[in-house]
Amino acid sequence: METKKILLLGGNGKTGRRVAQLLANKNDVEVRLGSRSQNPSFDWENPKTWTEALKGIDTVYITFQPDLAVPNAPEIIKKFTSLATENGIKKMVLLSGRGEKEAQICEEIVKATARKWTIVRASWFNQNFSESIFLEPILTGFVALPKASILEPFTDADDIAEVVAEALLNEKHDGKTYELTGPRLLTFKEAVAKIAKVTGREIAFQSLSLEEYIAMLREYEVSEDVIWLVNYLFSEVLDGRNSSITNDIEKVLGRKATDFTDYVAKTAKTGIWNEVNQLS
């Protein structure tokens, strides 16, 4: 069998890292991590790095930074996917955001440019609470967020990675768009309460208006790019449009999607939510 040579963009990120682990021991698969710190390096902001990173590769997992909804994403995705196809890439798997109209423009570009493709649209990751933006507030014991009553089907990055690995390896997923959700709807407040319960820590939750939240981020000197994205996600996407569950994870993996409670139990054992010293 021919060896599949796969480039994982965002190979150190929340899903890319997991996909790399899943592919690590497979026969006939070679993996290259797409990262600014690898050699060859890959940087979305430096197109000169793209050709070298694509050399000898036949399949690419695309995770864009910071989000496919940012205004210049279609231009960059068009440039990258065209170059990838010119360089012989046979298949692209794109990680997209569920309910993001703007991200769908990029999906269409991939569909029009790639020889073969799979689109994986994901809801908010569970791991945002342990590996990303919500970790620090959880560690400080105070989470303040807008849209406290919106129900979201938080999805586990392990599940997303398994679906992506399947899509990268198996041609039966060619030409398919999957919408991945967890198996139940939770508000941010309920999600934080579950973490508090399992860790035995007090974590206060305050509901804010979006304006108050943005003002708070500015006070913490969060960059304007991140503020733009947060504003977009909380104003456009978190309006209840994603408050429904799909069974695409089960359809692809033949098992149920990971429940938020199981994610919390597993993650609590790693101690990540107890490491208050991380903040000092």
Ligand X SMILES: NC(=O)c1ccc[n+]([C@@H]2O[C@H](COP(=O)([O-])OP(=O)(O)OC[C@H]3O[C@@H](n4cnc5c(N)ncnc54)[C@H](OP(=O)(O)O)[C@@H]3O)[C@@H](O)[C@H]2O)c1
CB of 43 to ligand X, least distance (A): 4
- Least distance CB 113 / ligand X (angstroms): 17
For position 57 contacting ligand X by CB under 6 A, the verdict is: no
Tell me the C-alpha distance between 247 and 69, whole Å.
25
- 134 forms part of the interface with ligand X (CB under 6 A): no
Nearer of residues 63 and 130 to ligand X, judged by Cβ: 63
| 182 belongs to the binding site for ligand X (CB under 6 A) | no
Supply angle C-alpha 156, 161, 167, rounded to 5.
130
Q: Does 117 bind ligand X (CB under 6 A)?
A: no
Told to check if 207 binds ligand X by CB under 6 A, we report no
Residue 178 lies near ligand X (rule: CB under 6 A)? no
Binding region for ligand X (CB under 6 A) out of 30-38, 135-143, 185-193, 264-272: 30-38
User: Does 153 help bind ligand X (rule: CB under 6 A)?
Assistant: no
Minimum distance from residue 265 beta carbon to ligand X (Å): 20
The reply to whether 183 sits near ligand X by the rule CB under 6 A is: no
Chosen residue from 58, 67, 152, 179 binding ligand X by CB under 6 A: 67
Does residue 213 belong to the site contacting ligand X (CB under 6 A)? no
Distance in Å, CB of 99 to ligand X, minimum = 9
Our finding on whether 68 is near ligand X (CB under 6 A) is: yes
- List the one residue from 50, 80, 117, 124 that touches ligand X (CB under 6 A): 124
Q: Does 15 bind ligand X (CB under 6 A)?
A: yes
Q: Is 125 in the site for ligand X (CB under 6 A)?
A: yes
Instruction: Indicate which single residue of 5, 12, 74, 245 sits in contact with ligand X (rule: CB under 6 A).
Output: 12
DSSP letter for each residue of the chain: -PPEEEEEETTTSTTHHHHHHHHHT-TTEEEEEE-TTSSS---TT-GGGHHHHHTT--EEEE--SS-TTSTTHHHHHHHHHHHHHHTT--EEEEEEETT-HHHHHHHHHHHHH-SEEEEEEE--BGGGGTSSTTHHHHHHTEEEES-TT--B--B-HHHHHHHHHHHHH-GGGTTEEEEE--SS-B-HHHHHHHHHHHHT---EEEE--HHHHHHHHHHTT--HHHHHHHHHIIIII-SSTT-S---HHHHHHSSPPPPHHHHHHHHHHHTTTT-GGGG-
Q: State the Cα–Cα distance between residues 115 and 99, nearest whole angstrom.
A: 25
For ligand X, the closer CB: 16 or 146: 16
Q: By CB under 6 A, tell whether 130 contacts ligand X.
A: no
CA atoms within 13 A on the CB side of 249: 24
- Site for ligand X, rule CB under 6 A: 10, 12-16, 35-37, 42-45, 63-65, 67-68, 95, 97, 122, 124-125, 128
